[in-house]
Amino acid sequence: MSLENRIAEIIVSRLNVKPEEVTDTASLKDDLGADSLDMVDLMMDLEDTFNLKISDEEGNTLQTVGSVVSFLKTKGIEA
Amino acid sequence: MSDKRVVITGLGVFSPIGNTTSEAWENAVAGKSGVTRLSMIDPDLFTSQVAGQVKDFDAAELLGPKRARRNDRYTQLAMAAAAQAWEDSGLSEESIDPERVGVVIGSGVGGMETFEKQHTTALERGPRRISSMFVPMMISNMAAGQVAIDLNAKGPNFATVTACASSSHAIASSVDAIRLGRAEVMVTGGSEAPLTMMSVGGFCSMKALCTTFNDEPEKASRPFDRDRSGFVIAEGACILVIEELQHALARGAHIVAEISGVGMSCDAHHITAPAPGGEGCARAMRMAMTDAGMASGDVDYVNAHGTSTNLNDINETAAIRDALKDRADKVMVSSTKSVHGHMLGATGAMEIMLTALALKNGIVPPTATHENPGEGCDLDYVPGTARKADIQCALSNSLGFGGHNVCIALRKYKGDN
């Protein structure tokens, strides 16, 4: 499964949104309805799935689906 | 005292005997038990293996997947019951000022399942893996907070936590709020989801639960009976919409019954055992009758706390004798816990609802499982079969660990002013 698809799966499950809503430019908060509590748990999901640490500062930069994908790629995660 | 009168104008319930008011009422009258073998968790781990479980409750379907996921089962049950009660009341956000609608919902513990799951996660993976939703899901006031969000109810809002008297305190406080003019409408009751390892195990350790009818669950909760051996743990939620009488009349609301008095007291005696002779319960009953302007001779029916424990049933019987004097030999007394089990923080609301329906319908639900009176249990417990009776005045008792006693007095509503 591609990195994009794995991330989309996590977001769909955590935020209870439809897969088609999870587009590259979709804002996690404004478009997909995440509140600050969802964001904390979403970061934990990503940490668990990809086995890495996301600092609060790094987490705050992750505002869109696309930003999550590129962040994980900079961490050397491809799929 | 205020001249404002308070009536019940909406009912909602998710319980072991039904997920609608009519289903729950019909089963209570028919004496049809909702107690089954415990299946939500492994029954073989416990000495008591029976429970009152809410059947066919699909939270994701009823509330939507996201709202279901973000709330503990106790809050989910409260949300679903509150939605039902609100619809039944005929009120809408447009028909009443949101600031004049309050919510008080009691729970004995709150989000027990959430607490246990997250504690397990913390032990296995460390405290940094505790979900951000842990605190909001666990706290025992979240049902009140979440129902207010659902109904846009911006008036007085809090939770009451007095073990098995929690939802009766919620209703008592809501009656007070309306009498004091703090709100016109209160959405109130209780919710509990205690079918978890720690809750069931904890009550088993207290030797509070029935252990002698594991093979006959429907007979396990037997209030005032010779063969009782403890209460049957149960889950569920019951929510009432209560309303200032003139407000209800002005909008043509359907009125179930009047809540005419409130009594509350404490035993100040022991953490779990009732005071000898049920003196604390008797004082709450007298206070409720005085508040309602009822004489003991007016009381036709007492919906007892009647838990099916040895100590409760003896002491509550003594309390009823103490409070009602000669009338105790004429009054009908029943415990509907015989069919729905002990819904803990939700049980008072459940029983107040059934008492209101008994007044409205002129039928007293039975103590369905009662066969042979236990020692010291010598009242008319309406054993086995419901009784038709045009009752006018009723009392509903709720007693909680901690020595908390609540009695709610209700009257048949006859369409006067």
Task: Note the pLDDT tens digit of each residue in B307-348.
Answer: 999 999 999 999 999 999 999 999 999 999 999 999 999 999
% of chain B residues with pLDDT over 90: 98
- One fold for B6-250 and B261-411: yes
Residue-level pLDDT at A52: 95
Domain containing A69 equals 3-74
φ/ψ (deg, to 5) at A44: -60, -40
Report how far residue B69's alpha carbon sits from residue B59's, in angstroms, rounded to the nearest whole number.
9
Across the range A50-72, mean pLDDT stands at 96
For residue B416, name the pLDDT band (cuts at 50, 70, 90). Answer: low
Question: Does pLDDT of B28 surpass 50?
Answer: yes
The DSSP code for A24 is T
State mean pLDDT over B176-200: 98
Active-site positions of A read: 35
- Residue A79 falls inside a structural domain: no
**CATH code of the domain in which A65 resides:** 1.10.1200.10
Minimal CA separation from B411 to chain A, in Å: 46
Mean pLDDT of B407-412: 98
pLDDT of residue B293: 98
- Classify residue A60: in a domain, yes or no: yes
CA B342 – CA B351 distance, rounded (Å): 10
Using an 8 Å CB-CB cutoff, list chain A residues near B142.
Answer: none
Tens of pLDDT, residue by residue over B43-85, are 999 999 999 999 999 999 999 999 999 999 999 999 999 999 9
Which is it for strands B301-303 and B332-334: parallel, antiparallel or unpaired?
A: parallel
Please name the fold of domain B261-411. Peroxisomal Thiolase; Chain A, domain 1 (3.40.47)
pLDDT, mean of residues B267-285: 96
d(CA B305, CA B293): 22
Q: Which of B247, B305, B370, B404 is catalytic?
A: B305
**Which pLDDT does position B107 carry in this prediction?**
98
Q: In this predicted structure, what is the pLDDT of residue B195?
A: 98
B325 at the A interface (CB within 8 A)? no
B225 has a pLDDT exceeding 70: yes
Of the CATH numbers 3.40.50.920, 3.40.50.300, 3.40.47.10, 3.90.1010.10, which one belongs to the domain with range B6-250?
3.40.47.10
- What pLDDT, on a 0 to 100 scale, did the predictor assign at position B1? 59
* Per-residue confidence band for B417, with pLDDT thresholds at 50, 70 and 90: very low
Q: Kindly report, residue by residue over B193-205, the tens digit of the pLDDT.
A: 999 999 999 999 9
Residue A56 placed within a domain: yes
CB B304 within 8 A of CB B266: no
Angle at B166 between CA B162 and CA B168, to 5 degrees: 130
Share in percent of chain B as helix, strand, coil (round to 5): 40, 20, 40
- Residue A41 is predicted with a pLDDT of 95
Nearest CB partner across the interface for B131, out of A15, A36, A41: A41
A32, closest residue in chain B (CA to CA)? B66
Q: How confident is the model at residue B93 (pLDDT cuts 50, 70, 90)?
A: confident
Stretch B145-158: mean pLDDT, rounded? Answer: 98
Mean pLDDT of A48-54: 95
